Structure 1
Amino acid sequence: MFADIRALACLFVFWKLLLLCIAYASPGPGYDTSTNLLLLRAQSAQSENTLLAHLAKNLVSKLVRWDALYFISVAQRGYLFEQEWAWGWGYTRLLSLISKVIPGAALSPLYAQAYAGVIISHVAHLSSVIILYGLVHHLPIMDKRQRRKVAFVAASLHIFSTAGLFLSAPYSESLFSMLNFLGVLLHARIPWEMPLEKYGPFSLLSLLLSGACFGLATTVRSNGLFSGLVYFHHVYMLFHSRINLRTIVTIVVIGISAAMILSGMLFPQYMAYQEFCVGPSAASELRPWCTRTLPSIYSWVQEHYWNVGFLRYWTVSNIPLFLLALPMLFVLISTGLTAPSLWFEQQGLDRKKDYDHTMVYISCLALPQILLALLALTTFHVQIVNRIATGYPIWYIVLAAAIVSPSRAFKNGKVGPTQELIFRGMIMYSVIQGGLYASFMPPA
């Protein structure tokens, strides 16, 4: 196992160096000079003029693109404008915290935020790779003899994720992946076939910690809410459990865990409500979303500033973006539907209840990525699915199972014949996307 971790770390370093070299060699800012204008304010006469400092600034300037401009600005001076609340509160707070311990932060604070973002992205991405490797060993979806190979391939696929350079830049995808994977791992450590009345201290603690991780992930990206769907497995298990004091305690713990996930979304909304709808600034002009039944600044900003809504993105001009996202949508939906059937590879589950419990459990793990794909297809900017899908573990594991044992893992032929094409597509897309991103060119 340690040999696998070392090999994954070496593969990670190689891939990151390649993408960073592509970014550094990109021709320039493209049509948008926002990064140059923003970081120009961070220049200081006292800044270091060493070659290393110069190279670092040039590289980080190629990574501060699109949403990263907002992330580092908000982290440096807080939320000022309404539309900035679309970017994850948890991520910007962590950026601000990490930047304070970076040498030279007082001299060039915006650069410090950018450096902090790059550090967080790399550390969180590597952590995600290791967590995903460990997660495979706790899921009942393949033959035990194949788990080590599947774990290694799945973790490798995560290294080469279609998020590409977004997992190196000051973006929230890496941190979200780490927290979401950790939440799934903690939840997977609870025996899926265990009735609720048998939950002991270890299982209850795992439930609470998984809820905390999912809640933190939701402060980073709002789609962390989807991870709460895994608790539907406990609802199913309730019908196969005796009602006693331990069962009631378990239900309460499940409720607390779900509440932590929900609070990850509601807490930033509450702070925004206090500022725009209750605070001194609300006296002059009350924003329209303040009077809604559910006064969510996030949904208002998405709708008002980015035209997010059901079928609003379905325009002729956006057809190329749908075509760009179509492969990932196919992967998310097909692997999500296929995942429950992989339990047939597991040995010793020949009883009807084991079949039911495992099918329901794996289905609940796969539901978040299916819901993400459906919402991307119908509601929000579809092209971003290529980077936000990186935070969902099941599709990596199913593809890895297909690569390791295609004839056995995919008897229905839904994904098996295409896994090699998908892997090559991931590599090509990430390399091309890296050059385009660093040059401030879409897709973003």
Structure 2
Amino acid sequence: MPIPRARGIITTLDTETVVFGYFTWNQVFALVELYKSTMKSNENWWSFYRGREVIKVAALSRLFVFGIAQFSGLLTSDYDSSFDNLIPNQANFSFIQNIIKNIVKVYTRWDSFYYLGIAQKGYTYEQEYAFSPMLPLIINFFANTVLYPLHKILGEQLLYMVSGILVANLFFVASAIALYRLGLVLFKNEKFAYLSTVVYCVSPANIFLSAM
């Protein structure tokens, strides 16, 4: 399946053009320069500071959120029942497919449907242009490369859902690392940078950062 292309998202390179949904080019360039300064000033952050510990905290927080999400899903009924419309022929699902369906169901809500559709088919409806192309592109890439051996087991729809959730959680860990390093640069205080990252990881609202 070809990777969907983002058409009409950016037409000019005006520095005030809004890109990636939220930022102007000027802001993007400023973020790139800030990241470069972070790389230069913390070349030994991994070994000298608590880089490994930050990754462990971020990963463990995802497992904790996963447990809470699954437990909550068992105790409560669905407010948004549109998930079932995404997967036809559920009656023919295998045992493994039913297990995976119940796992990903908690994380596939609201805007996830748009990202999933763009990842599979590209931009087909006008309202989909409100969603940036990067996440669907990465979901598509993982589904057609790393996770493709699971295609026969899961089917296309579940495969893309698993890909989206995996990508979201990997990028959450990456964002925790970025926040920690940014704290080191801005505040010159390792303890404050570390505690800020921990609070970010355990925030109750960050279940949204694990969803597609």
| TM-score, structure 1 normalization | 0.33
C-alpha distance in 2 between matches for 1:166 and 1:31: 16
Q: Is the Cα contact below 8 Å between 1:24 and 1:59 reproduced in 2?
A: yes
C-alpha distance in 1 between matches for 2:59 and 2:138: 24
C-alpha distance in 1 between matches for 2:77 and 2:158: 17
Aligned match of 1:114 in 149, 153, 161? 161
1:278-427 to structure 2, matched below 5 A, reads none
Cα offset, 1:57, TM superposition: 2.4
Q: Does residue 100 of structure 1 match 2:148? A: no
1:20 match: 66
C-alpha distance in 2 between matches for 1:138 and 1:40: 50
* 1:32 partner amino acid: D
Cα offset, 1:8, TM superposition: 2.4
C-alpha distance in 1 between matches for 2:54 and 2:179: 11
C-alpha distance in 1 between matches for 2:60 and 2:66: 10
Aligned match of 1:126 in 173, 176, 182? 173
Q: Does residue 4 of structure 1 match 2:4? A: no
* 1:86 partner amino acid: A
* 2:84 partner amino acid: N
2:102 match: 58
2:207 match: 165
1:154 match: 196
CA deviations on 1:139-194 (whole Å, 9 max, x unpaired) are 2x4xx4xx111121122122124541111111xxxxxxxxxxxxxxxxxxxxxxxx
CA deviations on 1:239-267 (whole Å, 9 max, x unpaired) are xxxxxxxxxxxxxxxxxxxxxxxxxxxxx
Cα offset, 1:29, TM superposition: 5.0
User: Cα distance 1:28–1:81, how it changes in 2: closer, same or farther (>3 A)?
Assistant: farther
C-alpha distance in 2 between matches for 1:4 and 1:123: 19
* 1:39 partner amino acid: I
- Identity across matched positions, percent: 26
1:70 match: 114
Cα offset, 1:59, TM superposition: 1.0
C-alpha distance in 2 between matches for 1:28 and 1:109: 28
User: Cα distance 1:152–1:31, how it changes in 2: closer, same or farther (>3 A)?
Assistant: closer
Q: Which has the higher helix share?
A: 1
* 1:121 partner amino acid: A
* 2:116 partner amino acid: I
Q: Is the Cα contact below 8 Å between 2:58 and 2:172 reproduced in 1?
A: no
Aligned match of 1:137 in 166, 172, 184? 184
Q: List runs of 5+ in structure 2 lacking aligned partners.
A: 1-45
Number of residue pairs the alignment of both structures matches? 161
Q: Secondary structure of the equivalent of 2:151?
A: coil
CA deviations on 1:60-81 (whole Å, 9 max, x unpaired) are 0111011111111221122221
C-alpha distance in 2 between matches for 1:12 and 1:138: 20
Q: Secondary structure of the equivalent of 1:80?
A: coil
CA deviations on 1:286-339 (whole Å, 9 max, x unpaired) are xxxxxxxxxxxxxxxxxxxxxxxxxxxxxxxxxxxxxxxxxxxxxxxxxxxxxx
| Aligned CA-pair RMSD | 2.5
* 1:57 partner amino acid: K
Cα offset, 1:58, TM superposition: 1.1
| TM-score, structure 2 normalization | 0.66
